[in-house]
Chains A and B, each alone.
Chain A
């Protein structure tokens, strides 16, 4: 049973469009993360949040933005998508004081 949900699973859009990738978790976890994963490469942390109204940029620079208005919700937004944004985006969460991550199934974004 998935406790962390990502939508859409697949998205194909044109250059310049604004997109939002949704991520919700039902476990009450304080910490949430967004990772970018390209084929054959490691997961790169692009954003994380340790609680409501807390967001930080990760190790990999990204033009996306995130918000954390509610504990269970951590959406990622791209204001103007470009082909270089084509990738898989994975959302994850964990409890405070622990770093055991629970991942969503991912959102695969293709920008034409």
Chain B
């Protein structure tokens, strides 16, 4: 099955700086890569996703890049704000649409 590795496990940034989270996956057949944000006491919520026919996607302050050859994808958050503090999960989808998740990155934005 698919194996997704996520780094770093924790990330502390100064407000206004950028944050980058990286993930690698093992199954070359995976073609869908979402990112979820989980705030304290809530379930994960989709914030951005990318499919294998696209190399980069942006939505305001967040962007995701995908390198299919190297089998890795990254989440970039620019101009971080306190409300960006949360746990972020990457995931990859195999051929039967089930998602495999990374272990999560706890992001703390320091005021």
Contact = CB atoms under 8 A, between A and B. Distances in A.
A111 interface: no
Contacts of A97: 97
Nearest to A45: B98
Interface residues of B, number: 24
A61 to B, nearest CB: 13
B97 A42 contact: no
A33 to B, nearest CB: 8
Report whether over half of chain A's contact residues are helix, strand or loop; otherwise say mixed: loop
A83 B68 CA distance: 42
Contact of B46 (A48, A59, A101): A101
Contacts of B44: 43, 90, 101, 103
Nearest to B93: A99
B46 A100 contact: yes
A58 to B, nearest CB: 8
Interface string A87-112: 00010101001111111111000000
Interface string A19-38: 00000000000010000000
6 contacts: A40-B103, A42-B101, A48-B98, A58-B98, A100-B34, A100-B49
Interface of B: 1, 4, 6, 9, 32, 34, 36, 41-46, 49, 89, 93, 97-104
